[in-house]
Amino acid sequence: MTKDSKLTAQARRRRAVAVGGHLGDEASVRAALADDAAGVRATALGALARMGRLTDDDVCAALADPDQVVRRRACELAATHPDVDLLPLLADRDTAVVETAAWALGEQAGDDDTTVDALAVVATAHDDPLCREAAVAALGALGSPRGLPAILAAIDDKPAVRRRAVLALAPFDGPEIDATLRRALEDRDWQVRQAAEDLLRD
């Protein structure tokens, strides 16, 4: 089988799985979780979620998938599965998986100390700015005072991270927050300045 024909076959299987999700064909969709192609497996996860039949065990199994496409999709879906532990995915070798896991942790709203501390490490020490940005956003969504130092540290990061850090200060108040926002009014990035102005106005 040629490469093109393999891709065509995978596309057909993905379409069949997607259709199965709309038709409620759980058996066929579940069978696709073991497909050779990562794209088909990821589509099967989404199809199960669409049917309301995606379990915590399904998500956990997908988080251990050898392909980053499946792990990333599992992280997205874990946002509505608060009992699924995403913390190990913050150390994933694929930065897109780390970014998505950080976002999902913010959506899960589990503001225990372990979660906040792990996100703070990503926010301040990860090599990839998208991962740092996602972790800062998650810390803002959680609103835990324990995560505030990491958010404040992000005010000196790259522009996109700085913008996210300013927005993440929304749940907090006090003299330190006001001083940080006033300093952000002088930022060289206009979007950072705008975000700070909006928060100070509110």
pLDDT tens, N- to C-terminus, the chain (202 residues): 566 566 688 999 999 999 999 999 999 999 999 999 999 999 999 999 999 999 999 999 999 999 999 999 999 999 999 999 999 999 999 999 999 999 999 999 877 999 999 999 999 999 999 999 999 999 999 999 999 999 999 999 999 999 999 999 999 999 999 999 999 999 999 999 999 999 998 7
Other beta carbons within 10 angstroms of residue 105's beta carbon come to 31
pLDDT of residue 110: 79
Enumerate the H helices of 52-147 as residue ranges.
56-63, 68-78, 95-108, 113-125, 129-142
pLDDT for residue 1:
56
Residue recorded with tokens 């990061």: 157
What sign for the dihedral angle of Cα 190, 123, 112, 88? Answer: positive
Per-residue model confidence (pLDDT) at position 202 = 72
Measured CA to CA, the distance from residue 160 to residue 61 in angstroms comes to 33
Q: How many angstroms separate the first and last alpha carbons of the chain? A: 62
- The one-letter amino acid code at 147 reads G
Fold of 85-202: Leucine-rich Repeat Variant (1.25.10)
Name the amino acid, one letter, at 96: A
173: which residues sit within 8 A by CB, 6+ positions away? Answer: none
Q: Which residues contact 135 (CB under 8 A, 6 or more apart)?
A: 90, 102, 119, 120, 122, 123, 126, 150
pTM: 0.91
* Domains of the chain, residue spans: 9-65, 85-202
